[in-house]
Amino acid sequence: MGEILGAGTTHYPPLITPDEDRGFPLTRTLKHNDKVPEEMKIPTNWPEPMRVEYGEDEGLKSAAEHRERLVKGFRAIRSAIDDFNPDIVLIWGDDQYENFKEDIIPPFCILAYDQFEAKPFTNRDGGLRRNVWGEPQEKAFVYQGAPQAGRLLASGLINEGFDIAYSYKPLHENGLGHAFLNTLLFLDYERKGFDYPVLPFSVNCYGSSVIRNRGGAITQKVNGVDLPFDPPGPSPKRCMEIGAATARVLKDSPYRVALVGSSSWSHAFLTPKNHWLWSDVESDRARFEELRDGDYDAWRRISTDQIEDAGQQELLNWMCLAGAMEEMGRKPEILDYIETYVFNSNKCLALFSP
Amino acid sequence: MAEILGVGLTHSPSLIAPDELKNYSLTRALRSNDRIPSEQKNPESWPQAMREEWGEDEGYTSAVAQREKLVNGFRKLRAEIDAFNPDVVLAWGDDQYENFKEDIIPAFCVMAYEEFECQPMVGRDGGQRPNVWNESADKIFRYKGHESSRYLAKALLEDGFDIAYSYKPLHQQGLGHAFLNTLLYLDYDRKGFDYPVIPFSVNCYGSNIIRNQGGPNTQQINGVDMALDPPGPSPKRCMELGAATARALAASPWKVALIASSSWSHAFLTPKNWWLYPDVESDLARFEELKAGNYEAWRGISNAQIEDAGQQEMLNWMCLAGAMQELGRKPEIVEFVQTYIFNSSKCLALMKP
């Protein structure tokens, strides 16, 4: 009989780079995003808590505190995973125009590879990506896959009427996209190793802009004209349904499975109404209170339009987890909920123990 | 104003090659399938109807007769499509390990390309493929895509279908054979085919799509058979998707021809008949159900039944059946060609407004 542990995390990329590099999305937006009105680039026009967080050092001190809380949360989650000792760690994560591009965008895909080999510290330009662990550019991380469990889950979901895609090897992204890879790096912040077989479950969070904006903030143009909107991602309701079905299939399997939903919540760079500078803090707080109260049903009623308005595209990963936890009758234990204006996105760390 | 025409047909590759080459899947199976016991290869052991069809000339006379029926049927379908004058032609077809391989197998995919550029007369070895039109290997066939493809993908995703979409080819340049042959046969007389096209890919080969690479032979790794792949979508799910497609398009501004393209039971997918002839009885049962407009009978068919009968590709027709049931349409049978020696029974049908 299968047993299930639930965990909600983030895969926030700046946790990789040393804070003193100030590789925050906000810094980049202030420097490079021409759509931001000039007056909004001046901190005096920002919300009060944002100015305080930014401080006199462009957020350096706040970044250290942000990191401390996140690392503490990741340690608690890792410890719970170790205690649970799963056969498989399944991760719902988004593909941000990494493995899936113009030649196919699946709403969901189970990556049932034999193994994953990734070099997270090689930059896109081939150079070293500075990282807090001081690890070299060529360091390879190898994770075992879960091909048998992946086939079992894909079969179970298809038999339940989900039109899930699956794959046995990479398409465009060698190894793993950042949502999955960062999750694994952060769950092993102490670098003691991560030997649990991994089953990445890809979710098309970026929906109507996954190709149009290539998973970022900037709309691509062809001959000077904006690309049209892409078809949407799956709805919150559908994500919760597939999460629930995943829990049912795995509950009847021989495996002990940790189900991980990995993403930050509202993203500044996806929130035009806040000039791409800060996230929709209010909307995230409403989602947080619903989660804390175990009111999963409130999440089911959220529309794709609401998600996109709030810059909460990546919350769809958590919606899958929420559907699974609702199916299992689990209430969350909140490890931390970190609100921020300066660091792109609010972050929640939670456990759903048996 | 939206209008929908339903069309069922086949993309049987054997219509491309001249009959005198006798390049049927049966002749290939007799020659090179080592799993078939030699006594089963002897026509003496075949069903009576199969022996008669094979005749004294290895099926040549029968091939000519089958072609005539199918070509007449395709001409009739084309005439109906021309009379309907659609804004776009949507075709449900299978991907037989052509565009989709180990790096992703979607259950369904809407191919929303701007254009499809195909070279069907290039053989697998890169040389000239013999064809009844005497067209050269470098002849290019271009088909237009259509904006309704994004509309349809959006509508289906919003309706709870987890369909994939794509804007350009993955592994297969142009179009897979299910779609391309359909277009070639609908233009058998080569007057051109200018209607925009939406290919709608269905994973018919399910549990053997990678294991058998869409054919009859199981691939091995280190001498061990590959594991079964996850299944394809069920007949029920295909019918639901077809119904949702009909609803979305009926609410659209476009006139659409909905085409299901496939033969029915395939000999090379029917182990119980030694891969020599299809499950004729099962096809006949499906045909009687279709003729009676009894779509509901198809909904209860399991994947296991489909695979036992070698009817994997019928999932394309299941999508059409779901759409036609949704619209309350009864079929008009244009042709039903039963055969033992030409791999598969073939049905041509119209579901008119």
Q: How far apart are the CA of A250 and the nearest CA of chain B, in angstroms?
A: 15
Question: What is the CB neighbour count within 10 angstroms for residue A266?
Answer: 27
Return the exposure string of B77-109: e unless at least 16 CB atoms fall within 10 Å of the residue's CB, then b: bbebbeebebbbbbbbbbbbbbbbbbbbbbbbb
Confidence of residue A50 (pLDDT cuts 50, 70, 90): very high
pLDDT tens, position by position, A152-194:
999 999 999 999 999 999 999 999 999 999 999 999 999 999 9
Count of pairs with CB atoms under 8 A, one residue in A, one in B: 110
| Pairing mode of beta strands B3-9, B346-351 | antiparallel
Longest Cα–Cα distance in chain A: 59
Kind and range of the H or E element at A231?
none
Is the pLDDT reported for residue B65 higher than 90?
yes
For residues A170 and B113, is the Cβ–Cβ distance under 8 A? no
Q: Give the pLDDT confidence score for residue A172 in this predicted structure.
A: 97
Longest CA span, chain B = 60
Pick from A23-37, B3-17, B88-102, B227-241: least confident: A23-37
Query: What pTM was estimated for this model as a whole?
Result: 0.97
What is the spatial distance between Cα B273 and Cα B341, in angstroms, rounded to a whole number?
A: 12
Two tokens, residue A143: 């994770």
A176-213 b/e (C-beta count within 10 Å ≥ 16 → b): bbbbbbbbbbbbbbeeeebebbbbbbbbbbbbbbbbbb
Pair type for strands A198-203 and A88-94: parallel
CATH code assigned at B279 = 3.40.830.10
Instruction: Name the domain count of chain B.
Output: 1
Report the percent of chain A where pLDDT is more than 90: 94
Chain B contact for A237 (CB, 8 A cutoff): yes
Contact at CB, B162 and A155, closer than 8 angstroms: no
Q: Mind giving me the DSSP string for B215-263?
A: SSSPPEETTEEPPPPPP---HHHHHHHHHHHHHHHHTSS-EEEEEEE--
For B278-335, the DSSP string reads --HHHHHHHHHHHHTT-THHHHT--HHHHHHTT-TTHHHHHHHHHHHHHHTPPPEEEE
Least Cα distance to B342 among B36, B14, B117 occurs for B14
Q: Which residues of B lie inside 8 Å of A (Cβ-Cβ)? A: 100, 102-109, 150, 153-154, 157-158, 160-170, 210, 227-234, 236-237, 240-241
Substitution target in A108, A113, A158, A199 with the highest count of B β-carbons within 10 Å is A158
- Characterise A283 by phi-psi region: left (phi > 0), alpha (psi -120 to 50), beta (else): alpha
Residue A2 has pLDDT above 90, yes or no: no
Could you tell me the residue ranges of all domains in chain A? 3-352
Please name the residues in contact with A310: beta carbons below 8 A apart, sequence gap of 6 or more.
A266, A271, A280, A283, A284
Phi-psi region for residue B321, left (φ > 0), alpha (ψ -120 to 50) or beta? Answer: alpha
Quote the domain boundaries for residue B265.
Answer: 3-351
> Which CA distances in Å does B92 have to B262, B273, B287?
9, 27, 19
Contacts of B41 (CB under 8 A, 6+ apart): B30, B276
| Cβ proximity of A310 and A288 under 8 Å | no
What is the C-alpha radius of gyration for chain B, rounded to an integer number of angstroms? 19
Q: Which fold has domain A3-352?
A: Protocatechuate 4,5-dioxygenase; Chain B (3.40.830)
**CA distance linking residue B154 with residue B245, whole number of Å:** 11
- Asked if residue B1 has pLDDT above 80, the reply is no
pLDDT digits over B117-162, tens only?
999 999 988 899 999 999 999 999 999 999 999 999 999 999 999 9
Q: What is the mean pLDDT of residues A261-271?
A: 96
**How confident is the model over A83-120, as pLDDT tens digits?**
999 999 999 999 999 999 999 999 999 999 999 999 99
- Alpha-carbon gap: A206 to the closest alpha carbon of chain B (Å): 14
Is residue B349 within 8 Å of B332, Cβ to Cβ?
A: yes
Environment class of B223 (CB within 10 Å of its CB; exposed 0-12, middle 13-18, buried 19+) = exposed
Residues of B in contact with A100 (CB under 8 A): 104
- Contact at CB, A163 and B166, closer than 8 angstroms: no
DSSP 8-state symbol, A347: E
DSSP state string for B41-80:
HSGGGS-HHHHHHHTTTTTHHHHHHHHHHHHHHHHHHHHH
